[in-house]
């Protein structure tokens, strides 16, 4: 009699890194020839646990080196706990637990939350990574999502029609230290929307459909300038992580050679100890050169591969791309092409980054930044400031957005000449740059108009450094006008609303005589005059 396992097959769908265009992992999907075994598994935790084990064994038969995503219902975890059988199956398949992500699948309704959290903690203790699946289309409570603190959040593509929600989820993921993946991406427009909202990973029919064989190639649309604006500290290393080729520290040179020659995509092998901590790094070209030399195979094949490796270069999962470049810059030049191991807070390897990926992305970032700089002051334009305003709104931070300009600038140009006017604008821009510290961002939006974004506590010193200076153009005295709107969490929804709150304050500052400064609060009427005086009726006449 045939059992249900005889008619069960598995398909693999790539999880794609939107920055590198590479496959970051494979989600294993059960594909029964008859019946709805997933509906049965949702009701039967024991059956669901067996499906997870069979999924890992199916991946092992395909001999894929890619990280795996295994689906398990939330109710199964709450009922069975740590899934000891899955841990054993992963080890038997020659894989390490931290190469496997458990996709916790809805429904969550009627699932005991405390039992689920305890199971997640046990799985994490075994080394597994945790993903919250079906967010946005499922029933996962937000508080439970935060308490789970997943390594990855999988968001349903239907939410791409609500970009503010996706950006908010990206902000939450940043707070939790998680990556954001969008599932079900079918069109290039959806891919662009996912990138624009800050997703780092995606999967769906656009890239590659589920198939019986793990996909070797996927289609990723080219990125457009401005996609997913990077923070000032530089892009996170999380966006560049590729799967690592791992072998035990005791592996022989022959085992490493078989791995390298069996896959041209593998640029190097990391040898890890029993806890997954990298101990040696084997570079493809240098290793194969040693093995191919005269007597090389005879000398090294049965010897420990560690003898042909180097001390691994490592960075933490929270590092930036610039910090990776600092690591690469240290040491001999012949190791600049080595992969850099990315480690989690336990020191375990979660992947590698390649220098070529970093250089390409950072070069694109610099080109985009240069294209947006004002040629007179070399300050960024309004896009840089407004994107940072949106980021701070999503982060729930209080900030002060300020607009500054030169009073009667046309008259300054007419009286002192355009060269003197240009020199004045350059000097004001340099003063703002020099005074900007910490999280302050300064932009030149054209003509004599400047924007700057600062924390409220640093605002007074910043304003004084510019407003107290004796400005002149061609020997003629010049005054400045400054308007500031302070935005607390919930007072504005995006940079457009913040700019709308700033507009009347700008008008009020321009109505004052002398160097002026007015400060208002978003959502509240009125403003405070901190500098300048109101023009009397007689003066106005």
pLDDT in tens, 160-178: 988 888 888 988 998 888 8
% pLDDT > 70, the chain: 89
- In this model, does residue 54 exceed pLDDT 50? yes
Residue-averaged pLDDT of the chain: 84
* Mean pLDDT within 396-415: 88
* Mean pLDDT within 308-325: 84
pLDDT in tens, 178-218: 889 999 999 998 998 898 888 889 999 999 988 888 876 78
Residue 129, Cβ density class (10 Å: 0-12 exposed, 13-18 middle, ≥19 buried): buried
Name the most confidently modeled range: 146-150, 225-229, 440-444. 146-150
- In this model, does residue 383 exceed pLDDT 80? no
Q: Using CA atoms, how far apart are residues 479 and 411, in angstroms rounded to an integer?
A: 12
> How many other CB atoms are there within 10 angstroms of residue 53's CB atom?
19
Q: 235 and 321 in contact (C-beta within 8 Å)? A: yes
What's the confidence (pLDDT) of residue 365?
Answer: 54
Place of tokens 């005295």: 477
User: DSSP character for 233?
Assistant: T
- In this model, does residue 293 exceed pLDDT 70? no
pLDDT in tens, 208-250: 988 888 876 788 887 654 454 445 456 778 778 888 888 888 8
Residue 238, Cβ density class (10 Å: 0-12 exposed, 13-18 middle, ≥19 buried): buried
Reading the block at residue 329, the tokens are 């810059």
What's the confidence (pLDDT) of residue 537?
Answer: 40
Question: In terms of DSSP bridges, do strands 476-477 and 100-105 run parallel, antiparallel, or are they unpaired?
Answer: unpaired
CA distances from 488 to 171, 174, 399 (A): 17, 20, 7
Q: Using CA atoms, how far apart are residues 160 and 167, in angstroms rounded to an integer?
A: 10
What's the confidence (pLDDT) of residue 505?
Answer: 95
CA angle 235, 237, 243 (to 5 degrees): 140
Least confident of 306-310, 379-383, 537-541: 537-541
What's the confidence (pLDDT) of residue 541?
Answer: 33
Q: Using CA atoms, how far apart are residues 318 and 237, in angstroms rounded to an integer?
A: 7
Higher pLDDT, 238 or 12: 12
* Mean pLDDT within 401-414: 88
Higher pLDDT, 441 or 102: 102
- In this model, does residue 540 exceed pLDDT 80? no
What's the confidence (pLDDT) of residue 121?
Answer: 94
Higher pLDDT, 494 or 337: 494
Beta bridge partners of 38: none
Reading the block at residue 222, the tokens are 């080219």
* Mean pLDDT within 429-456: 85
Backbone φ and ψ of 494, nearest 5°? -160, 180
What's the confidence (pLDDT) of residue 111?
Answer: 93
Residue from 282, 225, 220 nearest 248 by CA: 282
Higher pLDDT, 333 or 104: 104
CA angle 491, 199, 133 (to 5 degrees): 100
- In this model, does residue 375 exceed pLDDT 70? no
What's the confidence (pLDDT) of residue 367?
Answer: 47
Residue from 480, 483, 475 nearest 521 by CA: 483
Least confident of 67-76, 124-133, 429-438: 429-438
The DSSP line for 335-386 is: GTTS-EEEE-TTS-EEEEE-HHHHHHHHHHHHHHHHHTB-TTT--B-HHHHH
- In this model, does residue 93 exceed pLDDT 50? yes
Q: 387 and 45 in contact (C-beta within 8 Å)? A: no
């Amino acid at each position: 009699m045939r059992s249900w396992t005889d008619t069960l097959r598995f398909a693999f769908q790539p999880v794609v890194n939107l920055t590198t265009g590479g496959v970051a992992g494979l989600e294993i999907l059960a594909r029964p020839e008859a019946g709805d075994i997933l509906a049965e598994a949702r009701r039967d935790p024991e059956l669901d646990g067996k499906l997870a084990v069979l999924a890992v064994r199916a991946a092992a038969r395909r001999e894929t080196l890619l990280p795996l995503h295994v689906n398990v219902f939330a109710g199964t975890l709450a009922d069975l706990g740590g899934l000891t059988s899955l841990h054993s199956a992963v080890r038997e398949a020659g894989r390490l637990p931290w190469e496997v992500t458990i996709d916790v699948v809805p429904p969550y309704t009627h699932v005991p939350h405390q039992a689920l959290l305890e199971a997640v903690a046990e799985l994490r203790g075994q080394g597994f990574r945790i993903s919250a699946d079906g967010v946005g289309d499922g029933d996962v409570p937000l508080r439970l999502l935060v308490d789970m603190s997943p390594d990855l959040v999988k968001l349903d593509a239907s939410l791409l029609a609500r970009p503010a929600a996706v950006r908010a989820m990206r902000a939450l993921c940043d707070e939790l230290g998680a990556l954001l993946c969008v599932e079900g991406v079918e069109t290039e427009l959806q891919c662009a929307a996912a990138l624009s909202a800050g997703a780092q990973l995606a999967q769906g029919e656009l890239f590659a459909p589920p198939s019986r064989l793990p996909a070797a190639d996927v289609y990723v649309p080219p990125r457009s300038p401005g996609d997913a604006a990077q923070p000032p500290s530089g892009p996170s290393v999380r966006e560049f992580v590729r799967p690592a080729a791992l072998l035990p520290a005791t592996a022989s040179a022959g085992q490493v050679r078989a791995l390298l020659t069996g896959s041209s995509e593998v640029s190097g092998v990391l040898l890890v100890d029993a806890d997954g901590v990298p101990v040696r790094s084997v570079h493809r070209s240098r290793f194969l050169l040693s093995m191919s030399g005269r007597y090389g195979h005879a000398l090294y094949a049965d010897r420990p591969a560690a003898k042909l490796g180097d001390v691994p270069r490592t960075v933490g999962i929270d590092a930036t791309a610039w910090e990776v470049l600092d690591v690469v810059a240290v040491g001999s030049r012949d190791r600049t092409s080595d992969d850099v191991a990315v480690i989690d807070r336990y020191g375990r390897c979660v992947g590698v980054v390649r220098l070529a990926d970093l250089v390409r992305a950072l070069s694109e970032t610099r080109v985009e930044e240069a294209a947006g700089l004002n040629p007179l002051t070399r300050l960024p334009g309004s896009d840089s400031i407004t994107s940072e305003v949106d980021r701070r709104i999503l982060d729930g931070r209080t900030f002060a957005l300020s607009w500054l300009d030169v009073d009667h600038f046309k008259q300054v140009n007419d009286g002192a000449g355009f060269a003197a006017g240009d020199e004045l604008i350059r000097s004001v821009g340099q003063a703002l740059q020099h005074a900007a510290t910490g999280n302050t961002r300064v932009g030149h939006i054209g003509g004599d108009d400047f924007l700057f974004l600062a924390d409220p506590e640093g605002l007074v010193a910043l304003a004084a450094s510019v407003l107290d200076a004796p400005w002149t153009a061609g020997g003629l005295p010049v005054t400045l006008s400054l308007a500031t709107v302070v935005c607390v969490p919930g007072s504005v929804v995006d940079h457009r609303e913040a700019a709308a709150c700033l507009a009347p304050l700008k008008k009020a500052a321009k109505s004052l005589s002398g160097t002026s400064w007015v400060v208002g609060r978003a959502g509240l009427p009125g403003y405070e005059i901190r500098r300048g005086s109101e023009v009397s009726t007689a003066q106005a006449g």
